[in-house]
């Protein structure tokens, strides 16, 4: 089967507020999708809903992954099925090093013990590609990391955990030119014909080096338009104005 993610007519509430209002989206293996949309449109909500963050309540519709309904599956199980999310604001977790955390998480995801020497080599190799100082691997997870270090660390986690679907929520925002390049290099290293990536971004630059298949405009809790890479240019010129139905 080629289909990875299939979202059908999804409604999501946060608290009393309805954020997603009938959103549908299909992602197949090998594809690179981009979601763009104004602030507050519901992009992060979509990512959180896919991973079933309990704060985000699905009131209607379905999320399927590889043909299985994952609406109510717990987040860790969804992760173990191969869905990964790079956070807009990664959490700081003291008391565990990046390396030990990755090893622990990898063991959980693969459901088997990790061979430490091989594993360390793999992590080191990716870290080098991402210009991550090896010392960072010994530091407590995200604790005191700069914004850029946190985002690179998310990409490192993506590479190491090697999911089937990676959702990157504004991984490029707030980064300098070099760091954006590093992030897109990481995405390039990750991407192959068997997996897929969903990039949520405002930044046109990150898209230049990616082979984008589909661009979705998310406005007011729905996909207002889906197109090819040409949509990026259009948005760059004209913004989201013409897709907005109501003013927030």
Partner 1 sequence: MSKTKIDEINRNVYDIKNADNYDFKMEKGLNKQIVEEISKQKNEPEWMKKIRLNALETYNNLELPTWGPDLSDLNMDDLATYVRPKSKLNENWEDVPEEIRQTFDRLGIPEAEKKSLSGVGAQYDSEVVYHSIKEDLLKQGVIYTDMETAVRDYPEIVKEHFMKCVPVTDHKFVALHAAVWSGGSFVYVPKNVKVDIPLQSYFRLNSPESGQFEHTLIIVDEGASLHFIEGCSAPKYNKVNLHAGCVELYVKDNAYLRYSTIENWSKNMMNLNTKKAIVGKNAQMDWVTGSFGSRVSMLYPLSILNGEGAKTEYTGITFAGKDQNLDTGFKVIHNAEHTSSVINSKSISKDGGACTYRALVRVNKNAKKSKCSVSCESLMLDDISRSDTIPVNDIRTNDVEFSHEAKIGKISDKEIFYLMSRGLSEEDSRAMIVRGFAYPISKELPVEYAVEMNNLINLELERKHRINFND
Ligand X SMILES: Nc1ncnc2c1ncn2[C@@H]1O[C@H](COP(=O)(O)OP(=O)(O)O)[C@@H](O)[C@H]1O
Residues at the site binding partner 1, with contacts judged by CB under 8 A:
48, 51, 53-55, 74-76, 79-80, 84-85, 87, 90-91, 93-97, 100-101, 104-105, 108-109, 140, 157, 161
Nearest distance from residue 74's CB to partner 1, in Å? 7
Secondary structure (DSSP) of 144-178: T--HHHHHHHHHHHHHHH--SEEEEESTTTT--HH
Q: Does 186 bind ligand X (CB under 6 A)?
A: no
In the complex, minimum distance from the CB of residue 164 to partner 1, in angstroms, rounded to a whole number: 13
Binding-site member from 5, 10, 19, 159 for ligand X (CB under 6 A): 19
Residue 42 binds to ligand X (criterion: CB under 6 A): yes
Type and span of the H or E element at 13: strand 3-14
Where does this chain touch ligand X (CB under 6 A) — which range of 3-11, 39-47, 68-76, 179-187? Answer: 39-47
Site for ligand X in 47-76 (CB under 6 A): 55
Residue 51: which of partner 1, ligand X, Mg ion, none does it interact with, CB under 5 to 8 A by kind? partner 1
Confirm if 248 and 40 have CB atoms less than 8 A apart: yes
Which listed option, ligand X, Mg ion, partner 1, none, makes contact with residue 87 (CB within 5 to 8 Å by class)?
partner 1
Which of these ranges, 14-22, 61-69, 139-147, 223-231, lies near ligand X under the rule CB under 6 A?
A: 14-22
Kindly state the smallest distance separating residue 142's Cβ from partner 1, in Å.
9
> Closest separation between CB of residue 23 and Mg ion, Å?
15
Distance CA 87, CA 169 (A): 6
- Upper half-sphere CA count for residue 118 (Cβ side, 13 Å): 4
Told to check if 44 binds Mg ion by CB under 5 A, we report yes
Q: Binding ligand X by CB under 6 A: which of 43, 103, 150, 151?
A: 43
Instruction: State the nearest-atom distance from the C-beta of 44 to Mg ion, in Å.
Output: 3
Contact of residue 41 among partner 1, Mg ion, ligand X, none (CB under 5-8 Å per partner type): ligand X
CB 97 within 8 A of CB 120: no
Strand pairing of 56-65 and 3-14? Answer: antiparallel
- Tokens coding 43: 């992009």
Q: Does 45 bind ligand X (CB under 6 A)?
A: yes
Instruction: List the 165-169 sheet strands across, edge first.
Output: 83-86, 165-169, 196-200, 32-36, 214-219, 222-227
- Asked if 39 interacts with ligand X (CB under 6 A), we say yes
Stretch near ligand X under the rule CB under 6 A, chosen from 33-41, 71-79, 120-128, 178-186: 33-41
d(CA 200, CA 91): 19
- The dihedrals phi and psi of 37, each to the nearest 5 degrees, come to 175, 160
Q: Burial, 173: exposed, middle or buried (Cβ in 10 Å; 0-12, 13-18, 19+)? A: middle
């Amino acid at each position: 089967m080629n289909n990875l993610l299939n979202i059908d007519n999804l409604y999501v509430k946060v608290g009393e507020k309805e954020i997603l209002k009938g959103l549908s989206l299909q992602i197949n293996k090998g594809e690179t999708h981009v979601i763009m949309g104004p602030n507050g449109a519901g992009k992060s909500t979509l990512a959180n809903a896919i991973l079933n963050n309990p704060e985000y309540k699905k009131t209607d519709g379905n999320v399927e992954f590889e043909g299985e309904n994952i609406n109510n599956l717990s987040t860790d199980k969804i992760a173990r099925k191969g869905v990964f999310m790079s956070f807009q604001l990664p959490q700081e977790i003291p008391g565990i090093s990046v390396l030990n955390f990755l090893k622990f998480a990898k063991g959980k995801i693969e459901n088997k013990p990790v061979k430490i020497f091989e594993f360390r080599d793999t992590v080191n190799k990716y870290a080098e590609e991402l210009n991550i100082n090896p010392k960072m691997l010994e530091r407590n997870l995200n604790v005191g990391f700069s914004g850029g270090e946190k985002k690179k660390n998310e990409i490192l986690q993506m590479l190491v955990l090697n999911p089937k679907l990676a959702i990157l929520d504004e991984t490029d925002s707030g980064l300098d030119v070099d760091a954006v390049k590093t992030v897109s290099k990481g995405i390039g290293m990750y991407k192959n014909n068997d997996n897929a990536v969903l990039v949520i971004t405002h930044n046109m630059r990150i898209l230049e080096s990616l082979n984008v298949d589909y661009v979705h405009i998310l406005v007011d809790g729905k996909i207002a338009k889906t197109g090819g890479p040409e949509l990026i240019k259009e948005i760059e010129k004209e913004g989201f104005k013409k897709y907005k139905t109501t003013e927030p």
